[in-house]
Structure 1
Amino acid sequence: MLNIVLFGPPGAGKGTQSQKLITKYNLVHLSTGDLLRAQIAQGTELGLTAKKLMDEGLLVPDAVVIGMIDSALQANKATAGGFIFDGFPRTVPQAASLDQLLEQHDSGINCMIALEVDEEELVTRLLERGKTSGRPDDQDESKIRRRVTVYNTETAQVAGYYAAQNKFHALNGIGQIETIFDQICTIIDQNKPATPESPTEAAREVQA
């Protein structure tokens, strides 16, 4: 199973690349924000716990988020070729918890890919996006810069965690979409799990 952590600051093009990767590798996109909203909408025990905390203005604990990811893994692993983790992990403890969870599923993270774009380019992109997205945080330059700062702080910690495992890869997020996509695919293809040989292939090798 192929598992990718895809990181990128707001406006780096992560959403566009995720959709292309999902199609190419038959992956399931796991966004913690989407998972939270789905669990709350479905009224699950995890969703109700998360909603109660959010209504009180509290952060949802890592254990609850990990529980939601576990549910998503169980629901999709029979049909999916793997998963793209988007927006998670954001801290080293979260990365360690994710490793432990994937180990229970006889799997693990194959690579973390971070799209790097300088702050001024991000501000320009997001302000332009804000003209059509309707999102208030895409229309306020100070909020955009704050989001970028938070991302950079979080990524530095998690990048070091995966770098220690030789799984961290940084890519320039400025350029043609297809060029960046090809570069991401090269990294994935170099790090994805080996496909088990079919009996026919094994027989050919023996004969050779």
Structure 2
Amino acid sequence: MLRLLFIGAPGVGKGTYASRVAESLGLLHISSGDLLRAEVAKGSPVGAQIKEKIDQGLFVPDTLISEMISNHIQSSSAKGYILMATPATYPKHSLYSRVGNLSQAQFVQQSGLINIDRVYNLRQPYNVILAKISSRRSCADCGFGYNYANINEGGIRMEPLVPKVDGVCDKCGSNKPFVTRPDDVLETVQRRLDLYQDVTKPLEDYYAHLDKLTHFDVLGGTKQFLPKLLKLIDDEKSRYQKK
């Protein structure tokens, strides 16, 4: 069984790589945010507790989220799983993963509810991430996403993802001006990256001390670098794969 955790700055591509690696290797891709939202939508007893915390502007307790993820893992027949780490920095972000900072990672490690065999730290120069996130646009009608960043520096080449017809959405045909999400505004992106930089070093040091950390530099698009990541995981899995 492969039990992996992906960490990395906002915009580095954790979600994209985690979902594609999970699909390629037959693993369960776990989004604690999706699980929590599902519980709230179902109106389950757990969902009611979660909604109460969020409505009060409080964090969802680590114990509750860890137990929920553990139950989800146990109910799956997948050959392993991939978790993602996103710092829960504000109450409104309390739906995110509970392994996003040092104290959360220590809780997960010590609780024994969720096992992590290997941690992959996806890295990319901050100026590249800044350009990528701040260049994201979406259709005002259907929400389909585009990215106008055209990056070619320091050996990193990422071409823009733009509509086939300028100003017209490929998916729904709307010609309304594309919009920028509030989280993608340049100043907001910079604050998010600065905040992540404050929490990432202790997290990296913690997993390095446990001999669980592998760095992976994302210096291009997924077409080129997904095979590289898959090969890295395959090369290393004999060190941590569980039967």
Classify 1:100/1:118 alpha carbon distance in 2 versus 1 (closer, same or farther; 3 Å): same
Classify 1:32/1:153 alpha carbon distance in 2 versus 1 (closer, same or farther; 3 Å): farther
Classify 1:155/1:131 alpha carbon distance in 2 versus 1 (closer, same or farther; 3 Å): same
> Which residue does the alignment assign to 1:111?
118
Matches within 5 A, 1:38-187: 38-76=38-76, 79-87=77-85, 88=97, 89-101=99-111, 103=112, 108-132=115-139, 133=145, 135-138=181-184, 140-187=185-232
Task: Answer whether contact 2:118 2:212 (CA < 8 A) is retained.
Answer: yes
Among all aligned residue pairs of Structure 1 and Structure 2, give the percentage whose two residues are the same amino acid: 29
> Which residue does the alignment assign to 1:202?
none
What's the offset of the Cα at 1:42? Answer: 1.8
* TM-score, structure 2 normalization: 0.70
What's the offset of the Cα at 1:155? Answer: 2.1
What's the offset of the Cα at 1:10? Answer: 2.0
Tell me how far apart the structure 2 counterparts of residues 5 and 21 of structure 1 sit (CA, whole Å): 12
2:19 equivalent to 1:19: yes
Once structures 1 and 2 are overlaid, which stretch shifts more, 149-158 or 82-91? 149-158
Structure 1 SS opposite 2:58: coil
Tell me how far apart the structure 1 counterparts of residues 43 and 210 of structure 2 sit (CA, whole Å): 38
Tell me how far apart the structure 1 counterparts of residues 191 and 110 of structure 2 sit (CA, whole Å): 31
What's the offset of the Cα at 1:83? Answer: 0.9
Deviations 1:128-147 (A, max 9, x none): 21355453211x11111111
Structure 2 SS opposite 1:130: strand
Residue type of the partner of 2:29?
A: H
Over the aligned positions, Cα root-mean-square deviation in angstroms equals 2.1
Classify 1:21/1:50 alpha carbon distance in 2 versus 1 (closer, same or farther; 3 Å): same
